């Protein structure tokens, strides 16, 4: 009697769907592997209607995602009255992920800059240049910095999952350490 060998378990060769989000009230950057986009509410849209508009577009992008990587708050400058709406938007997006059982991570801006440029204080222009050089993705026009930030967040998520999009120096890879990555329940720790 001849025995037939049992086939080896094949590891999936499908790259996980990771979406990076640089949330903003005026121009949200969105990115997945090989692409970027922006969500720009029309001028004059404010309050709940603006939040609903952004959230609806974000949920279209995250549909079917394996991981969503969201830029966390920046505690630097800015207009104080917008902080509450932006914080609310971040919570609404995290809740939308939770409701759809999509794990999410929250990454501080300094860790995003460190991963892209090797410096936690790397400028928006340096992040955009790094995205172009390292990944071959051009982020131009209105929202170019938002797109580059979102692409970096996407790349960080893929790297965290074991699918780095490019070789990243150790000095840059340290940016992964400062992120709040999902726990078993799929929420950022």
Q: What is the pLDDT of residues 15-54, one digit of tens each?
A: 999 999 999 999 999 999 999 999 999 999 999 999 999 9
Whether the full predicted model's pTM is greater than 0.85, yes or no, is yes
Q: pLDDT at position 9, please? A: 38
What span, in angstroms and rounded, lies between the C-alpha atoms of 37 and 40?
10
Share of the chain above pLDDT 70, in %: 86
The confidence band for 77, taking pLDDT boundaries of 50, 70 and 90, is low
Residues composing the chain:
189
The confidence band for 109, taking pLDDT boundaries of 50, 70 and 90, is very high
Q: pLDDT at position 76, please? A: 63
């Amino acid at each position: 009697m001849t025995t037939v060998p049992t086939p080896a378990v094949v590891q999936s060769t499908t790259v996980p769907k990771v979406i990076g989000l640089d949330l903003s009230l005026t121009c949200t950057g969105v990115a997945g592997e090989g692409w970027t986009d922006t969500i720009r509410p029309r001028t004059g849209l404010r309050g709940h209607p603006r939040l609903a508009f952004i959230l609806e577009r974000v949920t279209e992008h995250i549909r079917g995602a394996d991981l969503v990587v969201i830029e966390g708050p920046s505690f630097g400058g800015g207009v104080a009255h917008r902080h509450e709406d932006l914080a609310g938007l971040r919570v609404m997006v995290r809740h939308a992920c939770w409701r759809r059982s999509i794990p999410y991570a929250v990454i501080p801006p300094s860790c995003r800059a460190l991963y892209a440029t090797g410096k936690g204080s790397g400028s928006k222009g340096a992040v955009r240049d790094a995205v172009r050089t390292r990944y071959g993705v051009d982020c131009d026009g209105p929202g170019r910095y938002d797109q580059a930030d979102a692409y970096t967040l996407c790349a960080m998520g893929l790297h965290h999952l074991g699918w780095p999009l490019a070789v990243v120096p150790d000095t840059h890879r340290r940016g992964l350490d400062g992120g709040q990555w999902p726990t078993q329940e799929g929420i950022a720790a």
